[in-house]
């Protein structure tokens, strides 16, 4: 398999997700409730019985780069909250990681998703408050984008990095942790 630099893969990831975001927005989101008019803003992101977003290492790196645009103090606060999320919900790197749910540490009340514009994961792009199940984007669309992201991930890191829950990957790539895999 031909490899690719992380920088090039991140650029391709950004283009891929931008195209997906625009497709979902154009073809599905008009049927959903606008997040700005939701009476309980962030309820879907903070619902610990619902959220189970898994990402690749490449997506985690994109999230880390987005967070690097914030002040160091804010980044430290976010990574602390992420570590607390991993502990609170007993999130792991092994076992049935898809069986665990959590409240997303990247959502802040009054602000919203901290990575919404630049690094929002594919499952989050697919999700919105749809009243009718049939109005949601088909699962196959999300599966296809996730498969494309996985291929980019494998080309970048050469070996298969397991999809892990978003908080677990952020803890693993925490630039402020002593044992971080930050590079």
Q: Which two tokens stand for residue 82?
A: 């992420």
pTM score: 0.91
Any idea of the CA torsion for 35, 40, 46, 52, to the nearest 10 degrees? -50
Check residue 80 and give its pLDDT: 97
**Model confidence over 41-69: pLDDT tens digits?**
777 888 888 889 999 999 999 999 999 99
Distance of alpha carbon 165 from its chain centroid, rounded?
8
Tell me the CB-side half-sphere exposure of residue 182, using CA atoms within 13 A: 11
With vertex at residue 171, the alpha carbon angle to CA 145 and CA 116, rounded to the nearest 5 degrees, is: 45
Mean pLDDT of the chain: 90
What's residue 5's pLDDT?
A: 95
Confidence of residue 123 (pLDDT cuts 50, 70, 90): very high
Q: Which residue has the tokens 């398999």?
A: 1
Strand partners, 50: none
Provide Rg for the chain, Cα atoms: 16
For 161-183, the three-class secondary structure string (H helix, E strand, C coil) is CCCEEHHHHHHHCCCCCCCCCCC
Q: What is the C-alpha to C-alpha distance for residues 123 and 120, in angstroms, rounded to an integer?
A: 8
Which one, of 92, 111, 93, 91, lies nearest residue 102 by Cα? 91
- The CA distance from 80 to 168, in Å, is 12
């Amino acid at each position: 398999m031909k490899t690719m630099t992380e920088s090039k893969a991140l650029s391709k990831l950004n283009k891929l997700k931008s195209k997906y975001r625009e497709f979902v927005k154009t073809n599905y989101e008009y049927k959903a409730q606008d997040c700005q008019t939701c009476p309980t803003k962030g309820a879907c992101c903070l619902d610990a019985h619902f959220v189970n977003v898994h990402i690749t290492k490449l997506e985690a790196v994109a999230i880390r780069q987005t967070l690097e645009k914030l002040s160091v103090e804010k980044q430290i606060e976010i990574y602390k909250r992420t570590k607390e999320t991993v502990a609170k919900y007993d999130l792991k790197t092994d076992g049935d990681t898809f069986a665990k749910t959590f409240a997303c540490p990247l959502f802040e009340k009054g602000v919203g998703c901290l990575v919404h514009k630049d690094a929002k994961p594919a499952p989050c792009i697919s999700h919105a408050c749809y009243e009718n199940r049939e109005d949601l984007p088909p699962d196959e669309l999300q599966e296809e984008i996730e498969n494309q992201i996985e291929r980019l991930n494998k080309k970048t890191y050469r070996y298969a990095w397991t999809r892990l829950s978003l908080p677990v990957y952020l803890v693993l790539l925490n630039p402020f942790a002593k044992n971080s895999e930050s590079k």
